[in-house]
Amino acid sequence: MADPSTSDLLRDAAGGDQRAWDHLVERYSRLVWAVTRGHRLAYADSADVFQTTWLRLVEHLGQLRDPEHLAGWLSTTARHECLRVLRMGRRERPDEDVAAGADPQGSAGPGPEAALLVDEERATVAAAFARLSERCQALLRLVVAEPGLSYTEISLALGVPVGSIGPTRGRCLRQLKDLLGERG
């Protein structure tokens, strides 16, 4: 028997069919996780975003205009939730040593110079990444997300043909490399 369409699953889930809901979650969980992990959230924050994304779907089950584009809707919703968590995280920043359970008096990690260099490299890459088009940013986040997504899943999330993902990825990486080269 063929897999039911996303439209059928959404309709049945809206009608209270638990199996349809479970099938939707199974079909799209990797995608939602990839978006959350692509934003480099802590595991607990990723889990919260994952749950909130599915909650948003429950709240909008009967209101989706194009059920066959559910992958894009879930990606967008997860991305918005990630950004909300990141904004809130800027307001509350526990000391990293305390949050990690490390002994503040101990020196298990690299020295401050090494940490500063790593932070500078991250900032440089982040600044170059931010200069890429939204399309390139979205594609590269999904390509490097954990757990890895197939090109088919990426195609569904971005609404692009599978055959264009590799070449587009290559162009986006070249642009990123060029931007990083400008910064030395």
Q: Which helix (H) or strand (E) holds 142?
A: helix 134-144
Rounded to whole angstroms, the Cα distance separating 26 from 49 reads 17
Q: 1-92 with 111-184: one CATH topology?
A: no
- pTM (two decimals): 0.54
Give residues with Cβ within 8 angstroms of 146, minimum separation 6: 33, 34, 37
> How much is the CA Rg of the chain, to the nearest whole Å?
19
Domain range summary for the chain, segments of one domain joined by +:
1-92, 111-184
Alpha-helix runs per DSSP H in 39-104: 43-59, 70-91, 96-100
Q: What secondary structure letter does DSSP report for 4?
A: P
First vs last Cα of the chain: how many Å apart? Answer: 56
The whole-number pLDDT of residue 96 equals 55
The whole-number pLDDT of residue 1 equals 54
The tokens describing 104, both together, are 């503040």
Residue among 124, 167, 122 at smallest CA distance from 143 = 167
Average pLDDT, integer, range 19-25 = 92
Q: How confident is the model at residue 74 (pLDDT cuts 50, 70, 90)?
A: very high
Q: How confident is the model at residue 162 (pLDDT cuts 50, 70, 90)?
A: confident
CATH code of 111-184, in short, is 1.10.10.10
pLDDT in tens, 123-157: 888 888 889 898 898 888 888 876 678 888 888 88
Least confident of 10-19, 109-118, 140-149: 109-118
Answer yes or no: are the C-beta atoms of 151 and 162 closer than 8 Å.
yes
Class of 1-92 per CATH? mainly alpha
pLDDT in tens, 30-70: 999 988 888 888 888 888 999 999 999 998 887 888 888 89
